[in-house]
Amino acid sequence: MRVNVERLHWVVLIVAGLSIVGISCYQYISTIQPLQSSQQTLAEEIEVLENRLGEAERESIASSKDVAADLYALQRELPLQPMPDEILLELDRAEEMSDSYILSIEKLDEVETTAADSEADIPEEEIATEERGEATPFSYLVRVRTPQYENVASFLESIDQSTRLLNVDMLRFDGREKQVWEDEEPAPLTTTIILTAFYYPETE
């Protein structure tokens, strides 16, 4: 009888142990494993979202840089203020590159500029710009002394290469000084130029 009791005791212990193991496995499968899987999925989703957010921020920054670069380039050509110092610097550069000498620079008022424009051949693009009222022009009367006609061409070429939007409204050769001796060097050539620049004033 004692042997049967001991066997029964061991059987009960084994069954109880197996039950505990089974319950533990069931709890792991039904609770812990799905939770771990859910946490892993959540971590992957967070990583994906972070990557997408980072890409969006980089695209936004890149787009902002492109917009800023385009705006900077546009404002160099057509600034929001007249910035006459830029025009004077461009004239100084043209003077140096063409081996010329600027005799005088005079700012013209609107009436004089309008009269000069009516006599000069203005590109259709500039006329359309003024009619739209999008850009405000202002002009200078520039007198330049050059050794030869080629120097005048170099002077105008330098102005044409400017990043600022400039237009030569009038070009007049005033002639040379009279030579006293035939064998002396040709007298300098004097040229009068009306140069117009533009700016885009901010509207309130």
Phi, psi of 196 (to 5 degrees): -115, 135
**Predicted local confidence at residue 164, as pLDDT:** 87
Q: How far apart are CA 136 and CA 114, in angstroms?
A: 12
Structure-block tokens of residue 127 = 């006329």
- Of the candidates 83, 65, 64, 87, the one whose C-alpha atom is nearest the C-alpha of residue 75 is 83
- Measure the CA dihedral 112/115/119/122, to 10°: 80
**Predicted local confidence at residue 132, as pLDDT:** 44
**Predicted local confidence at residue 102, as pLDDT:** 96
CA 58 from chain center: how many Å? 17
What percent of the chain has a predicted confidence (pLDDT) above 90? Answer: 31
Instruction: Identify the CATH number of the domain defined by range 84-199.
Output: 3.30.70.60
Q: How far apart are CA 162 and CA 166, in angstroms?
A: 8
Whether residue 124 is predicted with pLDDT greater than 80 in this model: the reply is: no
**Predicted local confidence at residue 129, as pLDDT:** 41
Whether the Cβ atoms of residue 167 and residue 48 lie closer than 8 Å to each other? no
Strand partners, 194: 141, 170
**Predicted local confidence at residue 135, as pLDDT:** 80
The pLDDT confidence band at residue 65, using thresholds 50, 70 and 90, is low
- Burial letters for 143-170: b for 16+ Cβ neighbours within 10 Å, e otherwise? bbbbbeeebbebbbebbeebebbbbbbb
Whether residue 89 is predicted with pLDDT greater than 80 in this model: the reply is: yes
Whether residue 79 is predicted with pLDDT greater than 70 in this model: the reply is: yes
Q: How far apart are CA 58 and CA 63, in angstroms?
A: 8
**Predicted local confidence at residue 185, as pLDDT:** 66
Which CA distances in Å does 115 have to 108, 109, 131, 168?
11, 10, 16, 14
Mean pLDDT in residue range 106-121: 61
The amino acid at residue 35 is: L
Whether residue 131 is predicted with pLDDT greater than 50 in this model: the reply is: no
- Write out pLDDT tens, residues 9-23: 666 667 666 666 566
Q: Where are the domains of the chain?
A: 1-77, 84-199
Instruction: Name the average pLDDT for the chain.
Output: 72
Look at the pTM and tell me if it is higher than 0.85. Answer: no
